[in-house]
């Protein structure tokens, strides 16, 4: 078996303040039973998925809460051919340009992205959102402008995302399914 700088047993370590998930001994033992060519191929697939996440999404995120939500979203909607996700997307409107944390296009985005339904997802960390009245006013105005331009807007607090990124992603997936 090819030597890799990481052990697949630690690939799925995930820790937040509230819980820790580690690959189970059962699953590790099952992986160990695979023949070397299968393990090698699985390793390539896992490396590819991790590279796609890092270079396609995670390195564009501006905070850990965005990264957690993007990983969870990729888990739920990453293989849906009618859903296209862009991280840190600039949206140009008639009188303003806004950068959003995550923008999801729903529909035949390869043919005509303008005809897609659009969902903006904001990850509101305490440090950057609504610390002052002016910030709150700007954020609310921005939401109204995006809604007027045809975007649906949803916000999650950093606390919600840290507590359970998969719950947030399931909520988004369910909203996407309703928007279809």
∠ CA 156-121-105, rounded to 5°:
155
Let me know whether 121 and 163 are in one domain: yes
- The CATH number linked to 125 is 3.90.1570.10
C-alpha dist (Å) from residue 154 to 26, 100, 142: 38, 11, 12
Do 49 and 79 have their domain in common? Answer: no
The pLDDT tens digits along the chain (180 residues) read 444 343 444 444 444 444 444 556 666 677 788 888 887 888 788 788 888 888 888 999 999 999 999 999 999 999 999 999 999 999 999 999 999 999 999 999 989 988 999 999 999 987 655 578 888 899 999 999 999 999 999 999 999 999 999 999 999 999 999 999
Is position 3 within any domain?
A: no
Quick one: 111 and 48 in the same domain?
Answer: no
Quick check: is 1 in a domain? no
Helices (H), 5-120: 25-32, 36-56, 64-77
pLDDT value at position 128? Answer: 58
| pTM for the structure as a whole | 0.77
State the residue range of the domain holding 41. 8-56
In a domain, 31, yes or no: yes
Number of folded domains in the chain? 2
Contact (Cβ atoms closer than 8 angstroms) between residue 68 and residue 140: no
């Amino acid at each position: 078996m090819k030597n890799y700088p990481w052990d697949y047993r630690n690939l799925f370590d995930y820790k937040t303040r509230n819980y820790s998930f580690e690959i189970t001994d059962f699953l590790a033992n099952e992986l160990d039973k695979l023949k070397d060519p299968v393990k090698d191929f699985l390793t390539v697939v896992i490396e590819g998925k991790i590279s796609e996440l890092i270079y396609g999404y995670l390195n564009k995120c501006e905070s850990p809460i965005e990264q957690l939500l993007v990983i969870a979203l990729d888990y739920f909607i990453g293989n849906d051919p009618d859903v296209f996700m862009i991280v840190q997307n600039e949206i140009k409107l008639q009188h303003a340009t806004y950068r959003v944390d995550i923008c999801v296009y729903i529909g035949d985005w390869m043919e005509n992205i303008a005809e897609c339904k659009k969902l903006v997802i904001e990850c509101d960390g305490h440090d950057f959102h609504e610390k002052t009245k002016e910030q709150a006013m700007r954020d609310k105005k921005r939401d109204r402008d995006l809604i007027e331009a045809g975007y649906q807007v949803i916000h999650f607090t950093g606390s919600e995302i840290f507590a359970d990124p998969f719950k947030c992603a399931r909520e988004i997936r369910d909203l996407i399914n309703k928007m279809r």
